[in-house]
Amino acid sequence: MPTIGVVNAPTVTPPTPSPLPAQGLRPIRELPDELVSQIAAGEVVERPASVLRELLDNALDAGATQITVRLLAGGVRLIAVEDNGSGIPHAELALALRRHATSKITNLHDLETVATMGFRGEALAAIASVSETALLSRPAGQSSAFLLDARTGELRPVARNPGTTVEVKELFYSTPARRKFLKSNATELAHCIEAVRRQALARPDVAFEIWHEGKLQEQWRATLVPGQEGHDALARRLADVLRQDWVASSLALQHPEGPLSITGRVGLPDTARPRGDQQFVYVNGRFVRDKVISHAVRSAYEDVLHGQRQPNYALYIDIDPAQVDVNVHPTKIEVRFRNSGAVHQAVRHAVEQALAAPRAGQASSAAAPSASAAPASPAGSVATIGPIVPIAPARQARMPLEERAGHRVQDLQRLWEPAKVAPLPPQTAAHIAPPASTAATLAPNASSPDLNGPVWPLGRALAQLHGIYILAQNDAGLVLVDMHAAHERIVYERLKAQAEHAGPLASQNLLIPTTFAATPAELATAEDHASTLTQLGLEITAFSAKTLAVRSVPAALAQGDAVALARSVLAELASHEASTVLERARNPILASMACHGAVRANRALTLEEMNALLRQMERTERADQCNHGRPTWQQLSLQELDALFLRGR
Ligand code: ADP
Ligand code: MG
């Protein structure tokens, strides 16, 4: 045992006898090529779908516009990819199978700005080392096609139109240990189809066919016809691959500004799923899984998603290739951005904007197609796709604060009983009179609906159901509104807007402070967080050793239950460091405050109040979801109602 005392003495433990043969005694040797490729295959080729992805990449890099995939036994027995691309000259066929042989880059600069899918020159070599591979190709200028058997090296002429077919048979035949890790044929087939879907979503200009055991599984026609708008093509490809309802329940997104262009579609919050299997992200046309991007999207949905559900989206990000490193992962599914902060911000912003616009009014305006094409970008074909459908020009999406504050008092205070509160401070009172335009559309309509007036997306209120739902009639049929959920969102958005733009929330003194018996923890929190409470429009001070008094509350919540509000805010604050709470948890705190201020169930509303609430929803961002991500309203169309009564059958 080494003793302590001599500071620098190496503490050598005697080697324990190993049961393994002494490795060090073998001489160092270079590994044979075949073995090196098999090792590389370990990284690149996990299952049939990974082979397929590499072959599709190659076909797309070769400029193919028609790609046919044929599979046997889920791809384990055969993966054949047939393309009409540029082909491989017969003299280069053998080279294509060599490790580190590529036609796509020649120097470091090429690597740093690479715009092709492949560039490492190892896929074919790796695949050939773990399967029986054959290459069959004919460039346009060559009179006949040649077939190269990778195992025997035999090269012979065959008949074929210009293009390339790569056949991969008996995957992992030489490495049975890996073959054992494969799942059932059905599972492997599903992964293969998913691999084609991912590529197809990025390339609407290319036609794809997938055959399994001689049966056609999927067929997607090229949708990008010369002279036609790119966004239509992408919307149609999305509809073909992900089904029409995926597109119908998603919102177009477009962010062409700056060095980063983002287009695509994001799913409505209601369509979020337990698993994130409908999330497609492309960077310069390459399907990637990227934590920066998925986090950015997730945070944009934060306010409108229920629980742990995963949103659906297809996002196409075009960025200067020099700003992104695609050579950080053997299968290139991960990338690294030079400036990931900027990417995060841009993605989050673009998604937030798409989600924020209230949807109630969009049905009619969404039909207008975008006149502007996407800006040119270095990303090849993806750049020509451009925006799909423009974000509907939502009137309310970017409303100045004054305007939002404007209808607050007029509409919302009517939602509660007359209150025992002090008159509004003068600076708040100034906002009472809404801007002329808002007043003109709000006031007369709420009381006496003008049938020739504007068409309200959420319609005119008819009645209240069990004190919970508002029933309204609009052009399409019947609208059902969860009044608490809807109002909660309206109050929340108002609080957020105030907090973001106007500093401390406007507060109102209670005429008579409300006192309540407080726990020692509540008393301590009220004292520690006094300045935060002020920021939140609350004044909660000690009234006695065991009692707290609520002296003022946010003006927007003046009619709510002050004690419940105070207790919930104190509980939220208790779990945070006093000095940073507003940076870290402001929105969740505002959300729970809004919950206390929102109109409660079983509160009878007049028609006027109901209409005011509907009009508020139409102009509030994210009004389609409550603060917990549940929907606030549903449309039942006349057709759906007819179906209920078997009319017209
Ligand atoms: P990489 O794609 O990284 O260059 P691969 O091993 O996948 O490496 O392919 C090697 C080379 O073979 C490619 O660079 C390309 O020149 C050629 N090649 C492979 N597949 C095709 C194809 N379908 N059509 C035309 N050329 C191909
Ligand atoms: Mg390749």
Structure-token pair, residue 36: 């090196």
Asked if residues 100 and 122 have their Cβ atoms less than 8 Å apart, the reply is: yes
Residues, Cβ < 5 Å to ion ligand 2: 57-58, 118, 123
For residue 94, count CB atoms less than 10 angstroms from its CB and return exposed for 0-12, middle for 13-18, buried for 19 or more: middle
Distances (CA, A) of 275 to 241, 312, 361, 606: 18, 9, 30, 42
Answer whether 118 contacts ligand 1 (Cβ < 6 A): yes
Q: Give the closest residue to 260 by CA, choosing from 336, 198, 321, 351.
A: 321
Burial string for 274-302 (b: 16+ CB within 10 Å, else e) reads eebebbbbbbbbbbbebeebbebbbebbe
**Across the beta sheet with 460-465, what order do the strands follow?**
460-465, 469-474, 477-482, 633-637
Compute, in angstroms, the gap from residue 124 CA to the centroid of ligand 2. Answer: 7
Answer whether 47 contacts ligand 1 (Cβ < 6 A): no
Structure-token pair, residue 218: 């999927």
CB atoms within 10 A of CB 367: 9
Q: Which residues have CB under 8 Å from 448's CB, separation 6+?
A: none
Asked if residues 270 and 249 have their Cβ atoms less than 8 Å apart, the reply is: yes
Which residue type does 451 have? Answer: L
Answer whether 124 contacts ligand 1 (Cβ < 6 A): yes
Q: Give the closest residue to 163 by CA, choosing from 287, 72, 55.
A: 55
Give the residue, by CA position, lying nearest to ligand 1 atom 13. 102
The confidence score (pLDDT) of residue 454 equals 67
CA 121 to chain centre: 32
Provide the phi-psi class of 224: left if phi over 0, else alpha when psi is between -120 and 50, else beta.
Answer: beta
Q: Which residue has the tokens 């502007």?
A: 372
The predicted-structure confidence for 544-583, as pLDDT tens digits, reads as follows: 989 999 999 998 888 778 898 999 899 888 877 777 788 7
**Across the beta sheet with 547-554, what order do the strands follow?**
507-517, 547-554, 539-544
Q: Where are the beta strands (DSSP E) in 276-417?
A: 279-283, 286-287, 313-319, 324-325, 336-337
Q: Which residues have CB under 8 Å from 631's CB, separation 6+?
A: 269, 270, 482, 485, 624, 625
Structure-token pair, residue 154: 């035999």
Compute, in angstroms, the gap from residue 316 CA to the centroid of ligand 2. Answer: 22
Report the alpha-carbon distance of residue 261 to residue 230 in Å, rounded: 15
Give the residue, by CA position, lying nearest to ligand 1 atom 21. 58
**Across the beta sheet with 260-267, what order do the strands follow?**
250-255, 260-267, 313-319, 279-283, 286-287
Helix-strand-coil percent breakdown of the chain, rounded to 5? 40, 20, 40
The confidence score (pLDDT) of residue 376 equals 32
Q: Which residues have CB under 8 Å from 102's CB, separation 6+?
A: 118, 119, 120, 121
Report the alpha-carbon distance of residue 112 to residue 209 in Å, rounded: 33
Give the nearest ligand 1 atom to 85 CA. 24
Report the alpha-carbon distance of residue 607 to residue 605 in Å, rounded: 6
For residue 161, count CB atoms less than 10 angstroms from its CB and return exposed for 0-12, middle for 13-18, buried for 19 or more: exposed
- What's the average pLDDT block by block, 10 residues per block, for the chain (649 residues)? 43 51 73 80 84 95 96 95 96 88 81 81 89 95 94 93 96 81 89 95 95 95 70 86 90 83 91 86 93 93 82 94 84 88 93 82 36 32 30 30 32 35 33 32 38 76 92 94 91 88 85 90 90 92 92 87 90 80 83 82 84 91 85 92 83
Q: What is the largest CA-CA distance in the chain?
A: 99
Give the residue, by CA position, lying nearest to ligand 1 atom 14. 102
Residue to mutate, 36, 102, 114, ligand 1, most ligand atoms under 8 Å from C-beta: 102
Structure-token pair, residue 261: 């262009």
Report the alpha-carbon distance of residue 299 to residue 557 in Å, rounded: 27
Between the CA atoms of 336, 338, 339 and 345, what dihedral angle is there, to the nearest 10 degrees?
A: -30
Q: Which residues have CB under 8 Å from 398's CB, separation 6+?
A: none
Phi/psi at 240 (nearest 5 deg)? -65, -45
Answer whether 93 contacts ligand 1 (Cβ < 6 A): no
Residue to mutate, 61, 97, 127, ligand 1, most ligand atoms under 8 Å from C-beta: 61
Report the alpha-carbon distance of residue 630 to residue 347 in Å, rounded: 24
* CA count, 13 A, side-chain hemisphere, 576: 19
The confidence score (pLDDT) of residue 225 equals 64
The confidence score (pLDDT) of residue 22 equals 55
Q: What are the counts of helices (DSSP H) followed by strands (DSSP E) for the chain?
A: 22, 22
The predicted-structure confidence for 90-122, as pLDDT tens digits, reads as follows: 999 998 988 878 888 888 888 887 888 888 788
Distances (CA, A) of 437 to 306, 442, 443, 493: 35, 9, 11, 21
**Residue 331 DSSP SS3:** coil
Burial string for 306-336 (b: 16+ CB within 10 Å, else e) reads eeebbbbbbbbbbbebebbbbeeebebbebe
User: Length of the chain in residues, anyone?
Assistant: 649
Give the residue, by CA position, lying nearest to ligand 1 atom 19. 58
Structure-token pair, residue 499: 């907090």
Predicted TM-score of the model (pTM): 0.67
Provide the phi-psi class of 538: left if phi over 0, else alpha when psi is between -120 and 50, else beta.
Answer: beta
Report the alpha-carbon distance of residue 64 to residue 67 in Å, rounded: 7
Structure-token pair, residue 471: 């029933």
Which residue type does 38 have? Answer: Q
Q: Which ligand is nearest to the CA of 102?
A: 1
Compute, in angstroms, the gap from residue 44 CA to the centroid of ligand 2. Answer: 11
* DSSP symbol at 92: G
Answer whether 64 contacts ligand 1 (Cβ < 6 A): no
* DSSP symbol at 162: S
Give the residue, by CA position, lying nearest to ligand 1 atom 12. 96
Report the alpha-carbon distance of residue 53 to residue 75 in Å, rounded: 12
Answer whether 85 contacts ligand 1 (Cβ < 6 A): yes
Distances (CA, A) of 288 to 60, 236, 536: 16, 22, 41
Hey, what long-range contacts does 149-154 have (CB within 8 A, 24 or more apart)? 150/97, 153/94
Asked if residues 193 and 53 have their Cβ atoms less than 8 Å apart, the reply is: no
Give the nearest ligand 1 atom to 81 CA. 23
